[in-house]
Amino acid sequence: MTLGEKIRYLREVEGSLRGLNRAMTQQELLRSIRSELGADGAVKMSQSYLSQIESGARPHLTNTTRQLLAKFFKVHPGYLVDDPEGYHPELLSEARTLEDKLDLWLVSGAERFRRDPALRQALLTLARHKDTRQCLLLLEAVMETPGLVERLLEVLRPGSTDSEDAEASRIKDRPARRLPGKESRK
């Protein structure tokens, strides 16, 4: 997040906290700073200066301005700088990133199979599970156990008909449509 985005965000939060139900304008912010922190006109900040900071035209604050804004917004002065490239405020682990990619892949697959509502729903249900990877590994173990898939289908989907299986097979065996301008990936 850039310094300008942070200040816009803080104006929005401050406006909400003050019951405005909107972001404070730059003018309202300056008036509030002057009335709440300004001692005998000691606050020397203009709306154009604040606008330049928010737009990125001025990438850095003076130390005095940083201290003043930090005191007004009640944040640490170190917060009022650009975040380093690649910085994420949330903790990300390699496993969580993998889960997110897997979930996105499943949701994308669900969209590709929207003509098969049962398969689409199965993919979406799998994507919404908190541990998608473990579900897929469990599915692999079930499939590798001889006769278990058939037995589970008998128990869990007793009303399943051969026509549903035939339709699923027909869709699966149909040649893939090629979109104009798209090359096959191999």
Domains of the chain, by residue range, sit at 3-79, 94-173
Least confident of 92-96, 113-117, 134-138, 152-156: 92-96
pLDDT over 90 for what percent of the chain? 23
Mean pLDDT of 62-85: 88
H/E run at residue 46:
none
How far is residue 139's CA from residue 54's CA, in Å, rounded to a whole number?
51
pTM above 0.75, yes or no: no
How far is residue 84's CA from residue 2's CA, in Å, rounded to a whole number?
9
**Is the predicted pLDDT of residue 106 greater than 70, yes or no?**
yes
pLDDT value at residue 180: 46
The class of domain 3-79 in CATH terms is mainly alpha
Q: State pLDDT tens for residues 42-67.
A: 677 889 999 999 998 988 888 888 99
First-to-last CA distance in the chain?
38
158: pLDDT confidence band, cut at 50, 70 and 90? confident
Residue with more model confidence, 43 or 34: 34
- Arithmetic mean of pLDDT over the chain: 79
162: pLDDT confidence band, cut at 50, 70 and 90? low
The dihedral region occupied by 44, where left means phi > 0, alpha psi between -120 and 50, and beta the remainder, is beta
pLDDT value at residue 42: 66
pLDDT value at residue 48: 93
